[in-house]
Chain A
Amino acid sequence: MNRIKGNQYINLKGVPCPLNFVKTKLKLETMGTGEVLEVELDDGEPITNVTASVKEEGHQILKVEKADEYWKLLIKKQ
């Protein structure tokens, strides 16, 4: 699989729910349609909650990947 690179990146490790989603949403609002955001999230509720919420907001999730003790989420802004 080709390595997808994000246009933007935020590190949300250590940021609790729902603040991690709010920060993701605000970041996405500054971006253009079709641009890709890379988000790093904690294991547990952060990765499952943020993934579900981003999907509900209508964005496309390109990749969900576990890396060591955290998760990487690639979101394409719609």
Chain B
Amino acid sequence: MTKKIYKDNELAGLRTGGIIKQKQKDYFILRTRIPGGHLKADLLKKYSTIAKKYGRDYVHVSTRQGIEIPWIHIKNIPKLLKDLKKLNILKGACGPRSRNLIACPGMSVCRFGFVDTEQLAGKLDSVAFGKEVPKKFKVAITGCLNSCAKPQENDLGFQAQGEPEVDLSKCIGCTLCAKVCEKVCLRGKRKPAIIMDENKRPIYRKKNCFFEGDCIRVCPVNAWKTKMVGFTVYIGGKVGRFPKFGVKIADFVKESQIPKIIRNTIRCYNRIAKKGERFGEALERQDLEKIKEEIL
């Protein structure tokens, strides 16, 4: 039997990202990305086609909102890459590059969400994905304090928040807002942001507020409304072998500022980190105040 010699253009395909060596000889995993986890049903069918044609009739749903297709034989990679392009399946990243941007379902369907995070993630893909970095770089966007997309565990995380305001002319004095507020603030170890006065009118104390919107959701007559929506920004979070939470550097950042913040953070990471080091690790040597200025 003669040994197959792979041509340079065949090997080049492996270096474009999204093709990961399996532990079995000659087999690779195709990693794809689904920005914000929003996948059209038609595209999902195409994944099935690829898994049947090149893999072993199954996929792995990754923890980073991508679909991975294992058991791709090395000889089929050039053809696979052409098929992916034709079908509009997006390749994921591996190696020292920024990864798929993840998001929770967001306000289009979730009762807690302040922002359409899925759509936002789609728009930010070109800003956040596939950039050269010292190790890896992950961005997450989540629609509320519940943190379903885990912004604190990503190198850069955005968490939507909403400031409430009350229209006392609509209030029927039911006290439910104060009730839900007290519960949140107790868990968050703060005094309640909403208390009732002697006439059963709510008094709002912004400094205690977690901006999660429970008062807005529970109010039976919509006296509580969202006054302002913005994002908390976390930097330096990671999991891996040595996990650490990201640190909060800002509140109520506007959506329009997010692309700039992503670009600045990636530039900052490249500036301060050694090769192979995560952003959070490099941040330990830095003055956080100066980093904030650089990023925001």
Contacting A at CB under 8 A, from B138-188, are: 172, 174-176, 179-180
B221 at the interface (CB under 8 A from A): yes
Chain B 209-220 against A: per-residue CB contact (8 Å), 1 yes, 0 no?
000000001111
| B220–A48 touching, CB < 8 Å | no
The contact of A52 among B172, B174, B175, B217, by CB within 8 Å, is B217
- The stretch that binds B, out of A8-16, A22-30, A31-39, A62-70, is A62-70
Closest CB in chain B relative to A29 CB, distance in Å: 20
Q: Contacts A55-B220, A56-B111, A61-B220 known; A48 to B174 CB distance under 8 Å?
A: no
**Contact A48/B179 with A55-B220, A61-B220, A63-B172 known, Cβ cut-off 8 Å:** yes
A55 neighbours in B (Cβ, 8 Å)? 219-220, 222
The reply to whether A64 and B111 contact each other, CB–CB distance below 8 Å, is: no
A65 to chain B, nearest CB (A): 7
Contact (Cβ within 8 A) B179 A64: no
- Can you report 16 A-B residue pairs in the complex whose CB atoms are below 8 A from each other? A47-B176, A48-B176, A48-B180, A48-B218, A51-B220, A55-B219, A55-B220, A55-B222, A56-B111, A61-B220, A61-B221, A63-B172, A63-B174, A64-B174, A65-B174, A66-B175
6 closest A-B pairs by CB: A61-B220, A64-B174, A52-B217, A48-B218, A52-B218, A51-B220
Spell out B's residues near A (CB within 8 Å). 111, 172, 174-176, 179-180, 217-222
Spell out A's residues near B (CB within 8 Å): 47-48, 51-52, 55-56, 61, 63-66
